[in-house]
Amino acid sequence: MEQDHDICHAFDSTSVSFSLLIACALSLLVGYVSRAVLYFDRMIEMGLTLNLINCTSLINGWCKRGSIKQAFEMLEEMVRKGWKPNVYTHTTLIDGLYKKGWTEKAFRLFLKLVRSDNYKPNVHTYTAMISGYCKEEKMNRAEMLFGRMKEQGLVPNTKTYSSIIDGHCKAGNFERACELMDLMRKEGFTHNIYTYNAIIDGLCKKERQKRMKESEKVFEEAIKVGLFPTKETYSSMICGYCRDGNVISAVRLFRRMGEHGCVPDSITYGDLISGLCKESKLDEACQFYETMIDNGLSPCEVTRITLAYEYCKNDDTAMAMVILERLDKKLWIRTVNTLIRKLCSEKKVGMAALFFHKLLDKDQNMDHVTRAAFKTVCYESNKYALVSELSERISKGIG
């Protein structure tokens, strides 16, 4: 904090200097909003004149952090001081509201701007609202605003098109998404990788439609026009291949990620491991799992359970235990609890009992849901002795 005060003194005591400090702090990370507030308060202490830009910048910072209440408090402060919030101030608040999922509140603020005599919504305001509706898959409303902005003489930008294309793809409206891509091209806009990502992701996730051939064409087209696929591009394609049961293509594409400087994350690894497990390619799945951990990534619970359970299905509980041993104690306990419940649901009583004993070795505070599931399946399978044996262990506190 002392360092921040030193920075304040190092700058000239002018509104311009402090405006630069506030802008710089907010342009870094969300965590720097508090620092921007400090500079803002320091301006007031020094008797410097605040302006609309300072306040709008701070509102933007609060919105990025998700602190909508503080953002509106700043808006009220602006009004009290006699400043009229402009279109940029309102657009910032609208963007913050929709990102919190409060689209209807955002729309009410949008209507206030529409009815204003001083300011009217600009392309960024419309884009913020369209993005909000697209995320909620309210495509009729998004299209209504898209048409309205064009009627007002506003030209949609690349972000506007990318948002509405993404929305239509998620809703499965690929024909409309392609129409918009063509319209974008006719109006002189260049498709960016995020536009292509929207199409690819939508095609890959429509499993029943088996549209991987189309997504392959879009993927190759993006590369052909000089765009670099992102991690999200690859993840969508890999997920789509795995859902189609085409793990050979998924693995081949996974190995291409480095060509474009993309590093797979735990989600990419998880999709690939799950796909390999479904095709009973456990050795290969295990190799990717080990590589994932070696690279410092933590597999999610679905990935851990999927791989361990597949080994259990193959009567290889020893390998399932080896897979889980690399986890820290907390993750191990949570994963084994889930695995026991899954084994119980599949009536694999013997394996469930084996993992139950292992769990008691590490954790005497047995999860009551896991214990109830195990007791139920034992009674249903007439394995009363197993219940007695484990109950005795728990009561004696043998770990």
pLDDT tens-digit series, residues 225-244: 899 999 999 999 999 999 88
Closest by CA to 85, choosing from 113, 66, 65, is 113
- Round to whole Å and give the CA distance between 391 and 385: 10
Our CA angle for 381, 386, 387, nearest 5°, is 90
Closest by CA to 342, choosing from 386, 366, 316, 307, is 307
Q: Which two tokens stand for residue 251?
A: 């693995």
Q: pLDDT value at position 232?
A: 93
Closest by CA to 265, choosing from 240, 288, 241, is 288
Contact 121, 88 (CB under 8 A): no
* DSSP code, position 211: -
Write out pLDDT tens, residues 132-186: 999 888 999 999 999 999 998 999 999 999 999 999 988 888 889 989 999 998 9
Taking 80 as the threshold, does the pLDDT of residue 40 lie above it?
A: no
Q: What is the pTM of this model?
A: 0.73
The number of helices, as runs of H, and strands, as runs of E, in the chain is 23, 0
What mean pLDDT, rounded, does the chain reach?
82
> How far does CA 131 lie from the centroid of its chain?
16
> How far does CA 330 lie from the centroid of its chain?
24
Q: How is the chain split into domains, by residue range? A: 1-85
Contact 196, 233 (CB under 8 A): yes
Contact 253, 241 (CB under 8 A): yes
Q: Which two tokens stand for residue 100?
A: 């919190």
